[in-house]
Chain A
Amino acid sequence: SQTIHQWPATLVQPVGSPLSLECTVEGTSNPNLYWYRQAAGRGLQLLFYSVGIGQISSEVPQNLSASRPQDRQFILSSKKLLLSDSGFYLCAWSSPSPLHFGNGTRLTVT
């Protein structure tokens, strides 16, 4: 069966520091991969999605970037975190439907 791993579960980072969140999927090939952010009272916001290695689409201009170095690996990064980057980040996959989510990373930027 397919599983998705996302880490770390929680992260506290100072403003201006870099960020790297990792997500891996097992049990499927060539999945579509997604990064969502969930802020209190604002629902889920799609940040990036990828349909293949090296193929990244950005939905919202921001301080973040994403990369897909391997078929089942999706990384969310930032060179310098802002206070507004705080939130709950969720990785998801589909092949092709429906979406399956990881357990999320709670990021607090201080």
Chain B
Amino acid sequence: AQSVTQPDIHITVSEGASLELRCNYSYGATPYLFWYVQSPGQGLQLLLKYFSGDTLVQGIKGFEAEFKRSQSSFNLRKPSVHWSDAAEYFCAVVLNSGYSTLTFGKGTMLLVSP
């Protein structure tokens, strides 16, 4: 069955430190990949997406993600975390443009310590 795994439920990072959030998927083919961020009580905001081409994609707010086909991973990174980055982050995948099959991971809560 198709699945998306975010192995870390919570992550705490010091302000100014680097960040990497993990995402692994289980699909028969290369899916389209997304990262969303959700602040408390708010909707989800798209950070970045990967459809094809360069496997390192740049997003908003200084985030980037790298698609690694051999590892079925799409990890999110940021070189220096700001306190305002504290939020929940969701990885999502879809096998084709039919969004009825969009699958989200269960999310990783990022806490930023001073």
Cβ contact within 8 Å between A100 and B102: no
Interface status of B74 (Cβ within 8 A of chain A): no
Query: Looking across the interface, which residue of chain A has its beta carbon closest to that of B104?
Result: A44
Cβ contact within 8 Å between B41 and A106: yes
Cβ contact within 8 Å between B102 and A46: yes
Cβ contact within 8 Å between A103 and B104: no
Interface status of A61 (Cβ within 8 A of chain B): no
Interface status of A99 (Cβ within 8 A of chain B): yes
Top 4 A-B residue pairs of the complex, sorted by shortest distance between their CB atoms: A101-B43, A43-B106, A44-B104, A101-B44
Residues of B within 8 A of A32 (CB): 99
Interface status of A96 (Cβ within 8 A of chain B): yes
- A79 to B79 Cα, complex, angstroms: 49
Give the number of residues in B that approach A within 8 Å (Cβ atoms). 21
> Chain A's nearest CB lies how many Å from the CB of B95?
13
Interface status of B97 (Cβ within 8 A of chain A): yes
> Chain A's nearest CB lies how many Å from the CB of B103?
9
Cβ contact within 8 Å between A43 and B43: no
Residues in chain A within 8 A of chain B (CB atoms): 6, 32, 34, 41-44, 46, 49, 57, 59, 90, 92, 94, 96-104, 106
Cβ contact within 8 Å between B105 and A43: yes
Cβ contact within 8 Å between A103 and B99: no
Query: Looking across the interface, which residue of chain B has its beta carbon closest to that of A49?
Result: B100
29 intermolecular pairs with C-beta atoms under 8 Å apart:
A6-B43, A32-B99, A34-B99, A41-B106, A42-B106, A43-B104, A43-B105, A43-B106, A44-B90, A46-B100, A49-B99, A49-B100, A92-B44, A96-B97, A96-B99, A97-B49, A97-B51, A98-B34, A98-B46, A98-B49, A99-B46, A99-B92, A99-B102, A101-B36, A103-B42, A103-B43, A104-B41, A104-B42, A106-B41
